[in-house]
Amino acid sequence: MAATLIPPDFDSSSSTDSSSSNRGITRSLRVAEIARRKTKAEDPIVAALKYFSKVQAGTPVQGNEELERNLVSVETVAYSKGLSPEAISVMLEFAMSLRMGTSPCARVLKFLLPSTVVPHQAVVRAVVWLCVGKLPITTQVLFIKWVLTVFDMIDAKDNLRAIYGFIFSFVTEENLCPYICHLLYLLTRKECVRLFRVRKLLELQSKLGKQPFLLHLLSLYKVFCPELVTLSLNSRIRAGFKNHHGPWKLALNAIQKRNFVQVSSDLPLALQTKEKAGLRKRKLGQMDLPVLNVVVQSQKQTSYNKMVVPLAHIQSFVQLLENLHLIELPAQMGSLLGSGLALHYLDCVQDESAFLRLNFWLGHALNEEFLFCGHGGASQGSDEVVRFLERLLSTQHFLQEGFSSVEAFLYKFLNVWDGSLLRPQILGLLSNIPVVPSSCINRLLSEPLMQLFFTSTVFFKCGLIESLNGMLAKWLTWHSVYALEDGLDVSLDSPTSMHMSRSGFMQSVVELVRFVGRLASLGLQLEGCHSLLLSFVLDFYDTVCDIFQKYGLPLVVMIPAGVFYPALFAFDPVSVDRLAQIMYRYKMNLTSAKKQEKLTGQAFHISRQTYREFNHYLVFMVNCLWNSKIFQPGDDIELSEELLLRSRVPQYWASFNLIHHPAFHCYAIDFHHKCWPERRDVDLNSIQNSKTWGWYLEYLFTQGFDGLQQFIQSSISFHPSTTDSQDHRP
């Protein structure tokens, strides 16, 4: 073997070259070096390897200078660059065959540092030498340690698995046992687990007592064949095998760093998070995730189930993809929540029972933690609960789907919730509730939420509006995706279908939007038009106004007066700007709906009333901001003439136009200063004339009021000559 030896480092003799230059070597250089190598055939390492492969058994060691020279030359190469696969083969063969006795053997093993990979044939041959049984025990241990250290660098492990039985036979050697167990642990596959091996290990266990290495191997056996062996480990032992890397690890790291060889170390992707171990166990452990375990099969089924890959064995996403059709769900579905890989699988799983199992577990955990705990929930708001809910939320987020058991739990919990316990998490779960039939929204959501809303702080109100906004957005997204895929609206024709019909869905949406409209109107009143709350409310209407264009649902629900007017008369320009933006989007939606109606001749469910409401708002808004005609008879806001006169506000009809509106007042003053810096007395009315009015608008638009800009440009045909408004009737 190893007839043609290629030394790993042809330029070791030329000391001028630093090793790191290997990387950036050019093609011409390489060609030149190959030529040089041919000429310089008698490289010391080549000679040394030739010597070790040819040396006769029984050659004396004592005083053998040739041996010493060759050993040193290989050793220097090994420590500087590592040995090539061929060199490893030769040296391992030399050492394990004990051709020159035991004394050089340990020395050779210690410098067996691979530069790239370890050929599996070499290892197999070495194991054969091990079986011959002439090696002293310390050398045997050293060899196994070496195999463990370089295990990740062995190029193919299947041949090693083929001699699993031979390796297994060494477990009876008391000194070797810990290392053999570790090696077996790395090699074991399901087919390796046999009853006689289990019995052997158990026998050893009874002889040696609780040894961690035995337990680890046995626990792996249990993972593969739970029907053969049973074992429970407490968390302390779970740490893993001891790192007994011997003398190689540091040198190997150095070599790898020097060679820039990224040896692919099979980093085990932790399938389950083991955060539980350090925590003190709670009395009520419902919030603990179960451990990912394999289903225990009864003996009969095993032959059939050999094809199946338990999810617990999957270590990487690639493996998941390769075995997607063979995967077996774990014994406890709850364990899936703890694993990112498992969630990927859950996402594409079709099994109804699987979801039902998960729902039973989840619902049970939530019920026991929040509803059935008679003692008032001693653990309320503890870290563990928070972590559980966060994980639940991220799972739902990942699956883009709420669990039905969580939904059922929330309907019950909302009735007893104080609105502050775990608020962010509960509100998060709330926003994941899937579409609720309109007939049930009132009983299940509106009633409990209304009570909470009106009795809580403004921050809860904001949170709730935000959560409901999320809910609406999810419903609409869900519809826009599944209306196509699942034939959501097919059932319009077939009333027998239990699927929610499109009209049913629309009713639900309308119900939800109206409910939030009521909450928002009253909430703004209660909180004195709190601008934070107003901002969240306007967020909600950002979603609402775009239902038709963004989500393809032929539905337009107008903003209620209780939100429109507070936003229009808000003190901060941002709210007014956002309202203008919303009105602009409403207009876009309504006009495109109208257009489509004409195009397809299909009757829409957008009623005249909606158009009328919109136009009403539009006229008011334009009159108020643009035409300086407020408090007209017939408006929603009507004040008697004499009352207005008594207020002694000059030109009260103009007090909410873009100049005098409290939100824009300061902009008007600023503009005035910029226009007429020399003027002492500020006369805002001078902006009113059509030319400056145009400039003023330009100025406002440069201040970032995009919504206002879109609104004005779309709804008002502005000619500098006549400041007349024209509202489109879509």
Partner 1 sequence: MDRHTSVARTPVSSVVVQRRSKSHRLSYRSNVGTMSHLGYTPGFSKRRLTTSRLAPKHSRITEVNPEQLALLVREWQLSYVTPLYRFRHGQLKSYSRQLAAFMVSEQQQGVAAEVGLESALKVSFTLVAGMAQTEEEANTVFIQIHSKPPFSAPDDPQKLLWSGWLTSVGGNPDYLRSLPEDFVCLPLFCSGGTEGLTALVKAWFQQTFDCCFGPLEINSVNLQWLAALWTDCHARSSIKQLKLVWSLPAEPPLEVTYTVHPQDAWELWRSIRQPGERGGEEEEDGSVGLEEVACFIKGLKSHFYRHFRVELSAGRLTQVSTALGSAKHGGRLKISNSSYMITTLTLLTECALLKMPI
Q: Which of residues 589-648 bind partner 1 (CB under 8 A)?
A: 596, 600, 602
Rounded distance between C-alpha atoms, residue 575 and residue 569, angstroms:
9
- Burial of residue 245 (number of CB atoms within 10 Å: 0-12, 13-18, 19+): middle
- In the region spanning residues 117 to 146, those forming contacts with partner 1, defined by CB under 8 A, are none
The binder of partner 1 chosen from 55, 163, 198, 421 (CB under 8 A) = 198
356 binds partner 1 (CB under 8 A): yes
The binder of partner 1 chosen from 434, 504, 662, 730 (CB under 8 A) = 434
φ/ψ of 722, rounded to 5, equals: -120, 120
411 binds partner 1 (CB under 8 A): yes
Choose between 16 and 234: whose C-beta lies nearer to partner 1: 234
25 binds partner 1 (CB under 8 A): no
Choose between 92 and 204: whose C-beta lies nearer to partner 1: 204
440 binds partner 1 (CB under 8 A): yes
- In the region spanning residues 244 to 303, those forming contacts with partner 1, defined by CB under 8 A, are 286, 290, 293, 296, 298-299
Choose between 9 and 407: whose C-beta lies nearer to partner 1: 407
> Is residue 470 a contact partner of residue 542, using CB atoms and an 8 Å limit?
no
SS (H, E, C) 12-79: CCCCCCCHHHHCCCCHHHHHHHHHHHHHCCCCHHHHHHHHHHHCCCCCCCCCCHHHHHHHHHHHHHHH
- In the region spanning residues 475 to 504, those forming contacts with partner 1, defined by CB under 8 A, are 481-487, 489-490, 492-493, 497-500, 502
The binder of partner 1 chosen from 191, 275, 347, 641 (CB under 8 A) = 347
What SS3 class is residue 726?
coil
DSSP state, 719? B
Rounded distance between C-alpha atoms, residue 412 and residue 392, angstroms:
18
Minimum gap (Å) between residue 239 Cβ and partner 1: 13
Which region, judged by CB under 8 A, interacts with partner 1, from 54-62, 220-228, 653-661, 666-674? 220-228
> Beta 309-310 vs 327-328: how paired, if at all?
parallel
Which region, judged by CB under 8 A, interacts with partner 1, from 149-157, 319-327, 398-406, 622-630? 398-406
Calculate the alpha carbon distances from 398 to 342, 392, 500 in Å.
Answer: 12, 10, 24
Contact string 541-580 vs partner 1 (x = CB under 8 A): -----------x-x--------------------------
Total of residues contacting partner 1 (CB under 8 A): 90
Choose between 357 and 587: whose C-beta lies nearer to partner 1: 357
Joined tokens for residue 14: 């030329």
Minimum gap (Å) between residue 24 Cβ and partner 1: 50
SS (H, E, C) 559-618: CCHHHHHHHHCCCCHHHHHHHHHHHHHHHHHHHHHHHHHHHHCCCCCCCHHHHHHHHHHH
> Is residue 136 a contact partner of residue 100, using CB atoms and an 8 Å limit?
no
Rounded distance between C-alpha atoms, residue 370 and residue 377, angstroms:
7
Joined tokens for residue 564: 């429109």
Choose between 186 and 483: whose C-beta lies nearer to partner 1: 483
Minimum gap (Å) between residue 206 Cβ and partner 1: 9
The binder of partner 1 chosen from 143, 170, 224, 361 (CB under 8 A) = 361
> Is residue 157 a contact partner of residue 187, using CB atoms and an 8 Å limit?
yes
Joined tokens for residue 487: 């034939």
Contact string 367-386 vs partner 1 (x = CB under 8 A): xx---x-x------------
Which region, judged by CB under 8 A, interacts with partner 1, from 101-109, 210-218, 244-252, 634-642? 210-218
